[in-house]
Each structure stands twice: as structure tokens, then as C-alpha cells.
Amino acid sequence: MSENAPSPEPESTDGRLLRGARARRTITRHAVDVASLEGLNGLSFGRLATDLRVSKSGIQTLFRTRQNLHLATVEAARELFADAVVRPARAAPAGAARLRALVGYWIEYAEKPLFTGGCFWAANLPDFDSRPGPVRDTLAQQHRRWLSLIAGEMRHAVDAGEIAPLDPDLAAFQTDAVLNAANTALRLGDQDAAGKARRVIDGLLTRPV
């Protein structure tokens, strides 16, 4: 090879990075399913290596620590949830219509379910709510953003005169509580859980007299 020939190193490095990114996506997608069923505490390098039939050392190389694995799993769950619920709902006009879209997509997310064990946050927030650290902080931040999204649409609906006056933050809290209750009921086999949730939330979205 001449001294002026381009080095193959950048292409080789790019290839490794792409393979690493694909491996991370595959691993975290499976990890989200496991954590939705058994909680993040059910995740380990060995467990994932066995499930996916890959080397434990390969997973350790990608994530380094169990905490990093947990954080990557939480972020993967957020992104998958956004694709299934938040982004599709943006097609609806802001306010009451978008609220109904968010609720509808959320119920689909829990009914199908998108994750093996149902709602990822319902499975993991109770385990980490009293355990300070980066994983708790990330879960809590994601939950606050969800509540803020609902409250913002509630506020828009009130300001636009689409629904009767209410406390947007309280209504968001109530909506989230109902959806979590529906998730539990669905896991326990209540076939009418989605209908009950919709009826309760529709009661919050009454038109002004």
C-alpha cells in the first residue's frame, strides 16, 4: 500500500460503532420487556446473555456497569413509549382532542401490550421511588414529563373553552392514576378496564355549560 493510500481505520471504526449501536438496541429492547415483567432488578448481564444467546462479556463491554444497563433500558422504554403514544397523538389538535388521543394510544399501549409486562413505569417506579440515585431520578423525570404533557393539554383545553374549568395539574394526576389502575386491571384479566378508564377520563373532559 502506498504512503498516500487512505487508511481503512475510519471505515473499520464506523463499522464497529454501527454494530455496537445495533447490539445495544437489541439488548435494551429485550431488557425493557424483562424489566416490565420482573422490574429492573431482574436485569443482569448474565440473564440477558442467556436470553439472547450472546456472550456476557460482550454485553459488559457495551454497558460497563449494571447501573448503565438500567439507565439505557429506561431510556429505551421512554423512546418506545414516545413512538407508540406521544408522537402519534401530536397529529390531533392541541387540547381536548389531543388528550383523547393520548389516552387512546396509552390504552392501546397497555392493552396490546407494547411491553411484555404492561406499563414499564408501573412496574418500576414503585421499586425505585424510595431509592435515591440516577435510575430513580431518570424514572421520576420521565414520569414528571408525562404528567406535564397531560396538564399542558388540559390547560389548553380549558383556555380554549373546550372543557369546563378545572385544575390541570390535579386532572393530570387523576388521569395518570386511572391509567395506572387500568394497566393493573388489564394484567389481572379485567376485560372492561379500558372502557372504565375512558369513562372516568371522559368525565374530566366535560364541555362547559
Task: Return averaged pLDDT per consecutive 10 residues of the chain, 209 residues in all.
Answer: 49 56 93 97 95 94 96 98 98 98 97 96 96 97 98 98 97 98 96 96 91
Q: At what angle do helices 193-204 and 96-111 cross, to 10 degrees?
A: 160
pTM (2 decimals)? Answer: 0.89
Q: Quick one: pLDDT at residue 31?
A: 98
C-alpha cell at 167: 385544575
CA dist., res. 209 & res. 47, Å (int):
57
Q: Quick one: pLDDT at residue 3?
A: 47
CA dist., res. 204 & res. 44, Å (int):
42
CA dist., res. 63 & res. 205, Å (int):
44
Q: Quick one: pLDDT at residue 145?
A: 98
**Residue (of 145, 2, 156, 163) closest to 82 by Cα position:** 145
Reduced to 3 DSSP states, what percent helix, strand and coil does the chain have, rounded to the nearest 5? Answer: 75, 0, 25
